[in-house]
Amino acid sequence: MTRTQLTEQIRGKKSYLCVGLDTDITKIPPHLLSHTDPVFEFNRQIIDATKDHCVAYKINTAFYESAGARGWESMEMTVNYIPSTHFKIADAKRGDIGNTSSQYARAFFETLRFDAITVAPYMGEDSVRPFLEYKDKWTIVLGLTSNSGSRDFELQPAGDGYLYEKVLTTVARWGTPDNLMFVIGATQPDWFEGIRRLTPDHFYLVPGVGSQGGSLEVISARAMNKDIGLLVNSSRDIIYAGRGEDFAVVAGGKARGYQLEMSGYL
């Protein structure tokens, strides 16, 4: 998916919502367990209920990899079920030496046909470059994350600023705003204005809104650019909003609530 296509989807739907499919089989409604593939059935109903209110889906691959081959099958079926109009993110946080990264890129861009993948940058350019070589695919590099451990490295002094700032400015030179995004956690709102000055044209994938406490209003005010430049992710707050047989209806209502709030900020 190109930047133009993504921006058109955002403006057309008045939404920059990304729904996270962090599907844990121990948390899905019990009545789904009788299905041949309960995880896919849960995802299918969530997608049907939320697709009119969001522009992207993010699959946290750990929830699928932990189930072995069956989990990969559920993930592949889910990716194939997501409409082609929606941006598909593999939240895999890969990053290794170049020839290994090439295989990761092949797995997620060719075999599973995601539009984007999250990548850790700390092994340097040669570990990120294989992802950037795919046309109309996106590499989403970890910038400033929402977890408390971000203080251990990302927020450590480096030169005249912090390490995460050096990461942003260095990585921005490896790609372009048309194929490179950054993960910026919603629980770090005080840093967004400075981050936007460092990377004025890039999109940000923003986790941490909802159950993690990030404010959609604050992030929208501080981080939008001329193309909106945001994909705000909500996972648990949407997909586990309901636990009964009407779980998908409840999830759809939650997603619509986000979309209505977002439309007011556009």
Active site residue 13: no
Q: Quick one: angle between helices 216-223 and 247-265, nearest 10?
A: 40
Tokens coding 166? 């050096």
Alpha carbon 82 to chain centroid, angstroms: 14
Nearest-angstrom CA–CA distance, 203 and 178: 9
Contact (CB, 8 A) for 140 and 181: yes
Nearest-angstrom CA–CA distance, 265 and 219: 10
Catalytic site residue from 14, 93, 137, 166: 93
H/E stretch holding 248: helix 247-265
Give the strand pairing for 138-144 and 116-119. Answer: parallel
Nearest-angstrom CA–CA distance, 170 and 168: 6
The residues annotated as belonging to the active site are: 93
